[in-house]
């Protein structure tokens, strides 16, 4: 009799700093991937490390979590330098660090790369940052200018070292290594280990731990794989369209966090689908009950996290939807392996935001399979499907039911009211389909492209002192012209705490607000980006619950923390909070809110 396999290691069992561990829980990580489980302990101990693992195996967390745990938050000088081969990877790693350090008070990470304004980087470097993520060329520039001080550097990471070799950066990398203190810790990660990379490791690393991870990324040939690039519709609306048109038996929808399983399952239930959450917080009895309901057709959709669905084998699962893209290729393979089992056919659909296209390519490279783009079902497709199902219901009812009593009733009504049987049938069809109209409702798509008016940086606030300008920029409370009304809905200007320095674009703001508030694109007005914050025109007097949702929404790894420009808050049911405007004859915010409710129903 074989002994039971040991329980997988959890993040709680690793000696990560408490704020980092809290962030890990926030993002929904449950157990470390193999590269993380083997890398984190030695890096926490201060050991040098050489890690060989494919892209998409969770390498970023493998070095970021332990090295962030070792930072001294009382120092503002760079303590961790991460070198990446491309600006895209530098931005991605920087965002990941920001996410993992969200509970570390006073933390700053700075991405530096070519193509970005040197003056902006110089200003940010002067402010101080504990972590620098950069491409070799731009890091060299700053070191030669003496604008980047590495004297307090504790650790250095070479991410995707073989890619830096292919791109001709390896000499630059060696030069940078020579400018760092001898006492610094080094972690080198590479998908392959050519001799040049090994030579660098021998020369610069001190008795390194060596880790090699072999990934199993074979996918089942019977699984049809496709992706939809997230744009226009909200993800929930897109998923609903797919559910309407796809002939599925049972489905698993994968999300990243435990909280998201419950939220999405509730929203699907509200739209008429038999759904339930499956996550690591559920006890074994409840988990088993949920799986049993899925097997016995008591449920059709389970919304799950990666760990909760591992080992799940339910024959009727015909579709897997990756509502949130997984963090690595191996997780993707585990997910879609819940369908297409034992030679059965399966379907896997992946939602991919524009900024996640790199992970899509990583998954394709790792699985050696192309994932085809899919067209989202149109409103006409949804309507046609509903009509077809309705006709089938009629045919099945005629064949299987004794309708004599109802036929007499129709004849009786026809004679009493002098109307045709066709009119009566139409009225009955309307009553039956009232909650789910055969003609699908048009959903206005959010078009994220938006022009932003921006004065040249060096000429804004002409004629005003720099100190006054900077103070106003920080407060965001300079006098503003009142926002123009949209379709009769009065608008106000709101401030959000994310700006150019955080890498935000207008389309990111539009997408976040549209998703959180269920707001149509036309009601998201003028957007203006500043260095550390932005402003956006939105309907006045938003309901309190919508306003609170927007306060806690995230963009570019920062909370919107929305507030009304000029002070005040949005309305609650008692109407205590007012949106104030300095213009004669303007009605109270209670009147505005009532007008907003009547004119715009998407709240």
Which residue bears the tokens 């491309």? 86
Burial of 431 (0-12, 13-18, 19+ CB in 10 A): exposed
- 74-78, 376-380, 454-458, 555-559: the lowest-pLDDT one: 454-458
Which residue bears the tokens 């609306």? 237
How much is the mean pLDDT over the chain? 79
CA 299 to chain centre: 27
Per-residue pLDDT reduced to its tens digit, 507-538: 788 877 876 666 666 778 888 888 888 999 88
Strand bridging mode 223-229 / 209-212: unpaired
Position 8 confidence tier, pLDDT thresholds 50, 70, 90: low
Per-residue pLDDT reduced to its tens digit, 350-373: 999 888 888 898 888 878 888 999
Position 219 confidence tier, pLDDT thresholds 50, 70, 90: low
- 105-119, 143-157, 205-219, 472-486: the lowest-pLDDT one: 472-486
Which residue bears the tokens 């938006």? 450
Neighbours of 317 (CB within 10 A): 24
Q: Does residue 217 register a pLDDT over 70?
A: no
Give me the DSSP letters along 167-223: TT-HHHHHHHHHTS-TT-EEEEEESS--HHHHHHHHHH-SS-EEEE--------TTE
Which residue bears the tokens 């012209």? 481
Q: Does residue 178 register a pLDDT over 50?
A: yes
- Is 133:155 a contact under the CB 8 Å cutoff? no
Q: Quick one: pLDDT at residue 411? A: 85
Q: Which helix (H) or strand (E) holds 226?
A: strand 223-229
Q: Does residue 227 register a pLDDT over 60?
A: yes
- Is 159:83 a contact under the CB 8 Å cutoff? yes
Give me the DSSP letters along 566-593: TS-----TT--S-----STTPPPHHHHH
Q: Does residue 410 register a pLDDT over 90?
A: no
Q: Does residue 96 register a pLDDT over 80?
A: yes
Position 386 confidence tier, pLDDT thresholds 50, 70, 90: low
- The share of the chain scoring above pLDDT 70, in percent, equals 78
Structure tokens at 139: 């890091």
Which residue bears the tokens 């524009």? 354
- Is 37:9 a contact under the CB 8 Å cutoff? yes
- Is 565:517 a contact under the CB 8 Å cutoff? no
Q: How far is CA 464 from CA 119, 467, 469, 470, in A?
A: 21, 9, 7, 10
């Amino acid at each position: 009799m074989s002994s039971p396999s040991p329980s997988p290691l959890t993040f709680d069992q690793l000696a990560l700093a408490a704020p980092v561990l809290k962030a890990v829980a926030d993002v929904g990580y449950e157990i470390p991937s193999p590269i993380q489980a083997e890398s984190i302990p030695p890096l926490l101990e201060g050991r040098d490390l050489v890690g060989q693992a494919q892209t998409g195996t969770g390498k970023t967390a493998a070095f970021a979590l332990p090295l962030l745990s070792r930072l001294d938050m009382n120092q503002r000088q760079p303590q961790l330098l991460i070198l990446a081969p491309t600006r895209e990877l530098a931005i991605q790693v920087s965002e990941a660090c920001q996410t993992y350090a969200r509970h570390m008070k006073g933390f700053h990470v700075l991405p530096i790369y070519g193509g970005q304004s040197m003056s902006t980087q110089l200003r940010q470097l002067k402010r101080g940052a504990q972590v620098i993520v950069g491409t070799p060329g731009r890091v060299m520039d700053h070191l030669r200018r003496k604008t980047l001080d590495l004297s307090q550097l504790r650790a250095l990471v070479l991410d995707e070292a073989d890619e830096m070799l292919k791109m001709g950066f390896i000499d630059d990398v060696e030069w940078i290594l020579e400018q760092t203190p001898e006492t610094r810790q080094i972690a080198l990660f590479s998908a392959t280990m050519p001799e040049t990379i090994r030579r660098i490791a021998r020369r610069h690393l001190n008795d390194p731990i060596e880790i090699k991870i072999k990934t199993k990324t074979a996918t089942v040939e019977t699984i049809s794989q496709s992706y939809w690039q997230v744009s226009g519709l909200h993800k929930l609306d897109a998923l609903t369209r797919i559910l309407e048109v796809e002939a599925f038996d049972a489905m698993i929808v994968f999300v990243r966090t435990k909280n998201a399983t419950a939220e999405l399952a509730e929203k699907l239930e509200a739209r008429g689908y038999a759904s339930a959450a499956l996550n690591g917080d559920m006890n074994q009895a409840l988990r088993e009950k949920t799986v049993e309901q899925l097997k016995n057709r008591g449920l059709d959709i389970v919304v799950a996290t990666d760990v909760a669905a591992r080992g799940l084998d339910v024959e009727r699962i015909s579709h897997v939807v990756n509502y949130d893209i997984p963090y690595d290729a191996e997780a993707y393979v585990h997910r879609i392996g819940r369908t297409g089992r034992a030679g059965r056919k399966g379907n896997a659909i992946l939602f991919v935001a524009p900024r996640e296209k790199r992970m899509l390519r990583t998954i394709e490279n790792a699985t050696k399979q192309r994932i085809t783009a899919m067209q989202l079902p149109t409103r006409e497709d949804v309507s046609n499907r509903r009509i077809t199902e309705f006709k089938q219901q009629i045919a099945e009812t005629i064949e299987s039911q004794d309708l004599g009593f109802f036929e007499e009733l129709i004849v009786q009504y026809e004679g009493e009211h002098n109307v045709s049987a066709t009119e009566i049938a139409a009225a009955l069809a309307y009553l039956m389909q009232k909650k789910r109209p055969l003609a699908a409702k048009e959903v206005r798509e959010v078009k994220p492209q938006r022009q932003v008016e921006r004065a040249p940086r060096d000429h804004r606030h002409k004629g005003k002192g720099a100190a006054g300008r900077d103070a106003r920029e920080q407060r965001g409370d300079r006098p503003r012209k009142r926002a123009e009304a949209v379709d009769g809905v009065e608008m106000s200007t709101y401030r959000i705490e994310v700006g150019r320095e955080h890498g935000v674009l207008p389309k990111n703001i539009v997408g976040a607000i549209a998703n959180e508030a269920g707001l149509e694109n036309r009601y998201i007005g003028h957007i203006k980006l500043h260095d550390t914050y932005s402003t956006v025109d939105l309907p006045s007097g938003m309901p309190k619950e919508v306003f609170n949702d927007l306060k806690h929404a995230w963009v570019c790894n920062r909370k919107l923390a929305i507030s009304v420009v000029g002070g005040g808050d949005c309305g609650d049911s008692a109407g205590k909070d007012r949106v104030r405007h300095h213009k004669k004859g303007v009605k109270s915010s209670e009147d505005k809110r009532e007008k907003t409710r009547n004119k715009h129903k998407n709240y």
